[in-house]
Chain A
């Protein structure tokens, strides 16, 4: 298992390298003069030159590359032009919001999705199946920003049960944190929940046909153990593999949801940076998002191996 984990970690390194190169290269890839765009149309030639200096654009590219990696290894992502703050500090400040949102949404989507999918598979063809799959389809097809607005209207404005937006740090008030997360996370989760439900149902239907399920029943195991232990453990294997991709989608969706629920997260930071051509922040954001994605997929790989001993032993 340890060797497997080390292998996965090593395999992730090239991805991180490529992403860091891409982040570095973004200033070269975009059309036009980066400094001119950042400075705006009213900037004087002198201001422009100073900005170029600050961004290090005056140096030859290989020096810039060395400088970029040198700073990166020290955790330095440069300075935001507009925030007048280090990019790393700006991200670290907002990261808990985005991570809370994404992972709460992932947890909701996974738990509710697999439960719905299992229920649907066990009751295949019956009313419960149609109800569960109908729910999944609705979750799938509703745009999340619209659903978010409806949720805010119903649960926050009309019923007054939950706040309309804003973030409460977990450390200051765990209950307040949960209340602030519930609506945005549920909104974000819904589409992925539909995905998990469909995948679980399909996987479960196949697993329930397997001989080892008949064996479990021949052993006199009660239905809930046959389904919850013997079948689910196997059905979750393909479902877990999409959790990594779902997480990427959730990270992307978090950008929209943070705006709807006015959460001060990394997503809003990046959107603002793109609008105002704050390249150091864009670079940092790209790097961060990709790193999270790689880490999540690493965790997924390990989870996958935990669920399936055949992977751990290098078969298949």
Chain B
């Protein structure tokens, strides 16, 4: 029984579909990595789960979370889930905290809303949470404003907010991309430790395949709004079946390359309006054949242990 099950999720803005047929599951306590180049739809997937799509975006399909389809839930019910059962942290810790409220207030607010704590208890618990995310001098920091904190500390504060109600699912959308390399490692260590301690499931969106191999149990590779390949992390790294996954792995920066950024593959992800009608990777794929343009290939289970959306997966393996 999975904690969350995403089935045929699609997201459209007006007539433009930015996400199509996205399906995956996350088990209780599991860490799922979602990778893909910029514009492949990783954030849209996360926001659709949270019910926080940008204005004008509509989601279709099913997202069963703890047995309920969140796409069908009224906003009121979603508000009870958000911040309590599912929580999210974002890429920009600088911009994600409210500049006019103290860190403590921003944590305490969630506790008052979802756990019904009174002002004083919420403040005390906020300090405890800051300690949990290993912020030094928590008693002092709790009454400070975001601009008084460093980028790393702000992201830790965001994590404290997200974990305040012990959610079953934590969505982390590139939580370290905006931070210095040294700070990144600390945040990832913290996330790893906390998820073991609290036993929550994590959907980790990242550009960094090193991070994926490090802490993710399963992986979803996305390309141009569709799932290209999915499977256990070990299988993806040992026997990638989709040409896109293979290209990503082949281009992992060696020691001399920039650390963390997704490796460059020739060409760019097309804009949603220009998605090819067949396999979306075809224009950039070295193995493309005319048959690839017929229809978007469905995900197929492969002997290597992954499922890939490529009609030629066996041939090129």
Contact = CB atoms under 8 A, between A and B. Distances in A.
Interface of A: 210-212, 214-222, 230, 233-234, 237, 307-310, 313, 315
A309 B99 contact: yes
Interface of B: 50, 52, 78-84, 87-88, 90, 92, 95-102, 109-110, 113-114, 145, 147-148, 158, 161
B90 A214 contact: yes
Contacts of B101: 230, 233
B52 A218 contact: yes
16 contacts: A211-B92, A211-B95, A215-B158, A217-B52, A218-B82, A219-B83, A220-B78, A220-B113, A220-B114, A221-B113, A230-B101, A233-B98, A233-B100, A309-B99, A310-B99, A310-B145
Given A211-B92, A218-B83, A220-B81, A313 B110 contact: no
A212 B109 CA distance: 14
A221 B158 contact: no
Contacts of B145: 309-310, 313
A212 B79 contact: no
Contacts of B80: 220
A217 B90 contact: no
B113 A212 contact: no
Contact of A309 (B87, B110, B147): B147
Given A214-B52, A233-B101, A309-B99, A219 B161 contact: yes
B59 to A, nearest CB: 16
In the A-B complex, the 7 residue pairs with the closest CB atoms: A220-B83, A220-B82, A219-B83, A211-B95, A309-B145, A212-B98, A220-B79
Given A211-B95, A212-B95, A220 B147 contact: no
Given A214-B52, A313-B148, 13 more contacts: A210-B95, A211-B92, A211-B96, A212-B98, A212-B99, A215-B90, A215-B158, A218-B83, A219-B83, A219-B87, A219-B113, A221-B113, A313-B145
Contact of A216 (B78, B98, B114, B147): B98
Contacts of A212: 95-99
Nearest to A208: B55
B100 A307 contact: yes
B100 A218 contact: no
Contact of B161 (A215, A230, A307): A215
A230 B100 CA distance: 8
Contacts of A307: 100
Contacts of B88: 218
Given A233-B100, A234-B99, A309-B99, A221 B109 contact: yes
The interface centre, meaning the residue of B87, B96, B113, B161 with most chain A CB atoms within 10 A of its CB, is B96
Contacts of B78: 220
B100 A234 contact: yes
A122 B148 CA distance: 30
A247 B92 CA distance: 39
A112 B102 CA distance: 28
A210 B50 CA distance: 17
Contacts of B110: 219-220
Contacts of A233: 98, 100-101
Contact of A218 (B50, B92, B98): B50
Contacts of B99: 212, 234, 308-310
Contacts of A308: 99-100
A210 B88 CA distance: 16
Nearest to B171: A218
B305 to A, nearest CB: 34
B98 A234 contact: yes
B4 to A, nearest CB: 16
Contacts of A221: 79, 83, 109, 113
Highest count of chain B CB atoms <10 Å: which of A212, A214, A234, A237: A212
A50 B95 CA distance: 71
Nearest to A213: B98
Contacts of A310: 99, 145, 147
A67 B114 CA distance: 68
Contacts of B79: 220-222
A310 B148 CA distance: 9
B232 to A, nearest CB: 29
Nearest to B94: A211
A60 B164 CA distance: 76
B167 to A, nearest CB: 10
B136 to A, nearest CB: 20
A291 to B, nearest CB: 31
Contacts of B96: 211-212, 214-215
B82 A217 contact: yes
B145 to A, nearest CB: 4
Contacts of B109: 219, 221
Contacts of B90: 211, 214-215, 218
B97 A215 contact: yes
A212 B80 CA distance: 19
Contacts of A309: 99-100, 102, 145, 147
Nearest to A211: B95
A218 B87 contact: yes
B70 to A, nearest CB: 13
Nearest to B107: A219
Nearest to A309: B145
Contacts of A216: 98
Contacts of A218: 50, 52, 82-83, 87-88, 90
Contacts of B113: 219-221
A313 B82 contact: no
B304 to A, nearest CB: 37
Contacts of A219: 82-83, 87, 109-110, 113, 161
A234 B161 CA distance: 20
A211 to B, nearest CB: 4
